[in-house]
Structure formats: C-alpha cells, structure tokens
Amino acid sequence: MRIAVIGQSVFGAEVFKLLRKNGHEIVGVFTLQDVNGKQDPLALAAANVGVKVFKYSKWMVNKKVIPEVYDEYQALNAELNVLPFCSQFIPNEIILFPKYQTIIYHPSLLPRHRGASAINWTLMCGDKKGGFSIFWADDGLDTGPILLQRSTFVDPNDTLETFYNRFCFPEGIKAMGEAVEMIATNRAPSIVQPEEGATFEPFVRKDKVQINFDQPAAVIHNFIRGNDKVPGAWTLINGEQITFFGSRLWSRLPPRGIQVPLDGAKYSAIVHKDGMILFGNDGKMLNVSQVQYSSGKMIPASKFGKEDSSAQKLELTPEEVSMENNLKAIWKGILNTDIDKTLDFFKAGAGSMDVVRLIEEIKVSFDIKLAIEDVYMNPVFDDLMMCVIRRGRGIEDKEPFTYDAVEIEANKMKLKFPHQVFIDNEFVDSSDGATYDTINPADETVICKVSKATKEDVNRAVEAAKAAFEEGEWSKLNARDRGMLLFRLVDLMEQHQEELATIESLDSGAVYTLALKTHIGMSIQTFRYFAGWCDKIQGKTIPINNARPNKNLTFTKREPIGVCAIVVPWNYPLMMLSWKIAACLAAGNTVVLKPAMVTPLTALKFAELSVLAGFPPGVINILPGSGTLVGQAMSEHPDIRKLGFTGSTPVGKTIMESCAKANLKKVSLELGGKSPLIIFNDCDLDKAVRLGCGAVFFNKGENCIAAGRLFVEESIHDEFVQRVIEEIKKMKIGNPLDRSTDHGPQNHRAHLQKLIEYCDIGVKGGATLVRGGKQCDLPGLFFEPTVFTNVEDHMMIAKEESFGPVMIISKFIDGDVNGVLQSANNTEFGLASGVFTQDIDKAMRVADSLDAGTVFINTYNKTDVAAPFGGFKQSGFGKDLGEEALNEYLKTKTVTLEYK
C-alpha cells in the first residue's frame, strides 16, 4: 500500500520503520519544522532512507487548507494516511483524500478521554484500565469509528512515563502495523464510538494544575502522577510555587521528619529521607520524590528546606575548565544553539532521547557516569557542569551518614559508637523518647544512655525490612553481589576489631583478650564464612514419574523466607548476633534484631558499620529494649516470617507459643544447657584439669555450652579436685581491660545475685562447697570461681545450670560407664557434652550414647564456624553455624513442569 505518514516523535519513527519492514511504500512523511535546527526523529528516519519529508508550520488558514500544501500532498497519491502521533490539526480534505482515508493512534480507550492529554487524564481519573485506540479519522475530535483497541491494567503507582513505556509505546507500534495489515487485507472494522461513557477533557496547562488538598490522598496522588514531568502539579509553600513529581502511595507509618505547612492543606507535609509525605483529607498519605522551585531548579524532595550542597559552586582546575568547554560542545551538538551557563536543557527543546544521548556523550568524553535523574535535577548548564565535576571528584549528592555519637576514651583509645535505635539505616530516638542506662559491670558506672525501643519502633523496623525485602535494592541484588556486601562488612569489622572488643569488654565484662579473640574474632570468621555461601545456595533436580507420552522436570529452589526477627543474649553480644545474622543475610533475608537490653552497644556499632559497608536501607534494623515488650512484639508481628532466639528455656517456650498463635512463623531456639563432662581415670589428667577449668570458667562461666556438671571417676576424683583448686588460685580476677586478667566481672547485678542464691541452695541441698560461692571483695560485679563436690543427681544444682563460674563435681564408681551415662543423660537439656579418655573405643561408645547436640572428646569449647551448633530436648532446635544454619533462613520451593 502507498502510505503517507503524518506525525512526529520516536513513536512515529518506529511506526515508519515497521510499515516499511512490512513491505509498504511510504510515499511521504509530514512532520514538524525543525526546532533550533533539530529534526524530529520521524524526519530523520525518513531522510536516512531517502523518503520525501515535508515540514509545515500549519496545514490550514482560517480553517481552510493551504492550496500549496494540498497540492504537494495530492501529488503523492497516497492510498492511506497513518497518523502515529500528530499534534497538528489536519484538514478534512487531507483526511478524506486517500482511497482508505486516514487512521490515527490515540492513547486512551475511546470514547473515554478524548482530547490531547489522554494519558494524563487516564492517570488523573484513577482508571483501573487504560490503553490506546486506533480509529478512522473524521471531522470531529477523536470521535471517528474504532478500528482496533488494546488495553491493560493501570498500576496504582504508574506514571506517564512508566505507563507509556510499558504498554502504549511498544504495543502501540505493533498495533499500528497490525491495523495497516487489516486494511490491506480488507479485514479492518469500523465500529461507531458510543456516546455512553464518552468524556472530553481539556489540555493540561500549568495554570490549571494547582493541587487541591481537600481530597483523599489517592485522588491527590492520581492528580500529581497524571501531571508528572509536564506540566507538573503544584502548590504554594511560603508563597512560592513548588511543583511535585514522582508520587507514590504511602501505606507505611508516617515517617519521622521535618514538617512543612502547605497552602490550603489540613496537614503539614513531612520532609524525610525518602522524599516528602503529603496527606489527603482522609489522613492517608502519598510520597513525592522530587520537587521543583519556581526558578526551574529541581531537587530531591528529601532535601527541601535544607542547605543544598549540590548548589555550591566549585573552583575549577585547569583540566576541569577544559571539561566545561567540552561539555558546551556536547550541548551545542545536541541543541544546535549557542550555549551559555544559564541555558536550560529542556527549555532549549531537548527531549527524553536527548537526555540519553547527553549521558552517553558525557560517559565517553569524561568517563563519568550520570543518572537520568541528574539531568532532570540539573537542567541548567552551570548546574549540570557542577554535577559532572562533583561526580568526577567522587563527591556524591547524598547526605553524609551522621548520628548522635557517644564518644569516650578507654583502653588507650578513643571510642565512638551509637546509642539510639537503628531503623532503615538511621539512628533515631525511640518513638516515645525513653532511654535507659547501660552499665559497665567492672565498676557499675553508667557507660551511656541507650534508646529503649517501643512497639511502634518494632512496627517501623518491620515495615522497613519488608520494603527492603520486597521492593528495595536488596531484593534486586544477585547472590554474588550480596556476598560482596557481606565481605565489605566483615572487612570493616576487622578494621574496627580493637574498638569492638573494647566496647564489648566495657558493656559485657568480657576480658579484653578473650573479647578480641573470641567475641570479635569468631564474629569476623562467621561473617567471612557465610559471605562465601551466598552464591552457593542451590536446589536439586528430582526424577519423578513422567506423564507419558510427555515428560516432567521437577526441581527445587532455595529461597529466602522474608523478614526475620532475631533475639540474642548478653553473654556474647556480637558473636551471637553474627552467628544468626550472617546466615540470615547470606540467604537473602532482611532482619530486625533485638540485642540483650544489658549489652546493646556492639550491636549498634555493627549497625553503623553496615551502613558504611553499603547495605541498603531496611536490610538490618537493631532495636535495644526489653524482651517482654520488643521481643514479644516481634513474636506477634504478622509480617515477621522467622524468629531466631538464643536465651533461656522458659523464654524460648513463651516465644514459641506466641509465634504459633500469631502467624505460625518459623522458629529456631538455642536454649539452656546442663552439659555433662565425663572424666575417666585413663585420661591425660593435666589436659583434663586445664580444659575442665576452661569448660566451666571460660568467659566467667557465662557460656551456654559450659560444662554444667563434671563426672569424675572415683580413683582420680580427689586429685582432680585438688588440682582444680590450684588452677583457680592462679587465676587473676580484675579489670577486664588489663591484658593479664583471666576472669572478669559477671554481666549484670541481677545475674550476680542469682549466682549467690544458686550457691546458697547448693549448700542447703547438701553439696560440699569447696571454694568460692560469694562475691569477690572488689568494686564491681566480680564472683569468685566456685567448686562444689559430692553433688548427687537429685540436687537442684545437679539439674539446673548456673550460667556462671560454678563447677559442679560428682564422682562415679570406676568402670561404671552405663551408670555415669544414665546420670549424664538424666536432664531435660541436651546442648553439649564432653568426655576425656585415652581409650578411643570407650570415647566413641560414650559419644554415641550422650544425648546432646555437640560432643567434645578430649577437648572442650572447640566450636568452629563450619560446624553446626544446636541442642536437643529442652535445649531447643535448629542450628547455628555451618551449612545447616542456612536451612533456618531458607524455604524450599518445588517446581514441576511438563513438556513434550
């Protein structure tokens, strides 16, 4: 068919190319006159292949066709006019002249939204369905019979750009080609438009799009997005016209930020780190991402009312002056006009394709990568030049990460750490402003005040974690990039390990050397181990019965669970955090963690390092506070899908019950222990004494796998006890920051008091107190390493753990392996256990019989990041560390497909 194409834009150019590809003869292209010497993309496409191009400023005068124009058009003898996008009024003589007359593309589902601003009105009216029509032109305005329509859903957060690029552009080009084929084969319908449901809306203009805030938030949102980019909906703030762009509905809690009164609005706007919140008269919210001043300057809405560092002029180096001249040349090549520093890129006629070209030319010329938003935010030449210079110098526009830091000196170093709750990559006060004191157990002085999280803080943290998991940058990372983030984090932890160890020592009472090696050292090892797992989490292919004659393929996918809650204890604050968070993040989840109320500081320092490592907002959230409030709120929260807990058995039971009642969330529990250590008379006694003491007194006995009861064979019992006493006498008790100290203070006063009560019960119950049993005669929370003997199975101290430096010794008859195993297993706990003997057969028999998650043979406390850790019975279920730990934070999906 002989076709005349009348229109403009990239859309018109693509339709032109498709019609030629389909074998049609394009006899002429009619488009707009050049703007500043720039040809329209349709004109360029036609000129490149030698098709005649006609450029008229207008087709009619006094509503009559211009004779010269009509004659030129007639001479082409077109059989069909195709108008892909046409902003000019075409005379009826032209429309009706061809054999098949004229078809037009219109971006709405006619008869709805007749008029020039159809897509705008589709969004402004909040239509659930939108699309385009191809219709036969007549002398009305978008009223001709319908040839073809295509429709799709309109997303509540679609903008002009997203809806056009997602559907109207790609599907519209294909549909124009299809419509022409239908005409060529005499299959094209002509369906008269109904008047029912017909609308005609005026062209949107800047003076007509002031926002009325006395409407529901959804209506305001639709109005703003319907005017996105052009012309831009606006309001008055302090008398200045401010235009809003990038609106999205906001279903989260109102963010914290700076309130800004709006002209005619019931509620003030809230400027926050992700934009500006606007309220409708229904109290619901929307968020805008950019604002534009009356001067034309566009900025992120999050920076409104703040000092704009990007507006500061920089002194240019000679090399940068040369860059400025090169950038002027790039602009001139695109805009075809003289460039001065005040020239606005878009007011000079640039369009969206020119933005892409500008970014690419800057990248090639200067090796500097800009984002599309950089051009829209800096349309004036001088502003964009400053943006290019800042990028070249490595200066980002985003605000620097700052927080209200606690700064103290200790351990011959200056310490700086946070003290507020950490939500969505920000340190903020708790919602009610409440704080509590965290205490140094070495002298009971106050280290600092810490924000005490509330239920509202839990809700905010979970919201942030859910958004990060479902739609944030974290959700888009591939596994290997996730691993690189974890490696960056662990590198920072290693760089700050002395600072972390000092904070841990101050806050928990851990001996500094132990904190450096174990508390922090194993935390670093744990993160490094799990960072390596990120891109090795794999499913399986499974052979199943085929549905003959077809075949089936079944495979499994290992997927993250979602938002996970983690509650950790106070004995190893950072290490327990690391054991759980590292596996959780490696699997791709997001996390809300509650550190122990008495030891929050290394968790908060860890949060700071996570931001410096580049973790996106919402991935990690830290909420210090009480277990009964914060922990319970986590257990009951419907958007948390997994809870990992380390702590006491009674609290674990409460958590499990709450999780089951709330939403049946997945739970893993690492709970109490009463770990037996059996020492046979054929052991290496020197080693058994040394490691037996370590099994009990390591980390002041505040150790979940501490040997809660030692069973010593009768023939070596007395010597063993005597040698243990000698070892205790050598221990240096005192300042945990002193490098020669062996034994530091207990974690907090309430725990110290429980240890005193525990020992009193042991004495009253008939056990023999050989040494200790009381607080040291020192300032601070120091407790003497304690030894009980003659402990029998029925006694309380034989059944319950002390969680302190208390050695419980029972002797058993030489050779009575079965008897000692019966006593060792006569407990509801099953976390760890140990055996010392040089008889490997006996060692393996005992290891097979001990009912505990970990068995140590001729060693103790030998945990490793690659070995799974977790207990049996009332010591809980689920594993930390090793590959098995990943299973706690993954779900398995089975996929089966059928094929021929």
Q: Residue 602 annotated as binding?
A: no
Tell which residue, 588, 676, 598, 649, has the closest CA to residue 877: 649
859-862 long-range contacts (CB < 8 A, ≥24 apart) are 859/691, 859/834, 860/677, 860/691, 860/692, 860/694, 860/695, 860/707, 860/834, 861/691, 861/694, 861/695, 861/698, 861/703, 861/705
H-type helices in 640-788, by residue range?
649-662, 685-697, 714-730, 749-764
- HSE, CB side, 13 Å, CA atoms: give it for residue 705: 23
Here the tokens at position 457 are 């803080």
Q: Residue 648 annotated as binding?
A: yes
Here the tokens at position 148 are 């073809």
Here the tokens at position 410 are 């200790």
In 3-state terms, what secondary structure has residue 384? helix
Q: Residue 430 annotated as binding?
A: no
Question: Token pair 């003290």 is at which residue?
Answer: 419
Is 106 known to be catalytic?
Answer: yes
Q: Residue 158 annotated as binding?
A: no
Question: Token pair 């036609």 is at which residue?
Answer: 46
Where is 374: in which H helix or E strand?
helix 372-377
Amino acid at 803: F
**The 3-state secondary structure of 124-169, one letter per residue:** HCCCCEEEEEEEECCCCCCCCCEEEEEEEECCCCCCHHHHHHHHHH
In 3-state terms, what secondary structure has residue 886? helix
Q: Residue 308 annotated as binding?
A: no
Q: Residue 142 annotated as binding?
A: yes
Phi-psi region of 242 (alpha: psi -120 to 50; beta: other; left: phi over 0): beta
Q: Residue 232 annotated as binding?
A: no
Q: How many CB atoms lie within 10 A of CB 190?
A: 10
837 in Cβ contact with 683 (< 8 Å): yes
Residues 344 and 39: their CA atoms lie apart, in Å, by 19
Where is 468: in which H helix or E strand?
helix 455-470
Residues 455 and 878: their CA atoms lie apart, in Å, by 27
Q: Exposure string (b/e) for 266-287, b if CB count within 10 Å is 16 or more?
A: ebebbbbbbbbbbbbbeebbbb
Q: Residue 277 annotated as binding?
A: no
Is 456 known to be catalytic?
Answer: no
Catalytic residue among 14, 608, 670, 888: 670
Q: Residue 668 annotated as binding?
A: no
Q: Residue 631 annotated as binding?
A: yes
- The three-point CA angle 495-496-499 to 5° equals 150
Q: Residue 888 annotated as binding?
A: no
Catalytic residue among 106, 419, 743, 748: 106
Q: Residue 319 annotated as binding?
A: no
Q: Residue 801 annotated as binding?
A: yes
Q: Residue 627 annotated as binding?
A: yes
Q: Residue 235 annotated as binding?
A: no
Q: Residue 215 annotated as binding?
A: no
Phi-psi region of 433 (alpha: psi -120 to 50; beta: other; left: phi over 0): left
Is 704 known to be catalytic?
Answer: yes
- The three-point CA angle 872-518-608 to 5° equals 100
Catalytic residue among 125, 448, 564, 704: 704
H-type helices in 748-893, by residue range?
749-764, 796-799, 817-825, 840-849, 882-887
**Which residues make Cβ contacts (< 8 Å) with residue 777, sequence separation at least 6?**
none
Residues 761 and 756: their CA atoms lie apart, in Å, by 9
Tell which residue, 892, 466, 888, 469, has the closest CA to residue 638: 466
What's 515's DSSP letter? Answer: I
Could you tell me which residues are annotated as the binding site?
A: 88-90, 142, 627-632, 647-648, 754, 801-803
Q: Catalytic site residues?
A: 106, 670, 704
- Residue ranges at the known binding site for (6R)-10-formyltetrahydrofolate: 88-90, 142
* Residue stretches of the annotated binding site for NADP(+): 627-632, 647-648, 754, 801-803
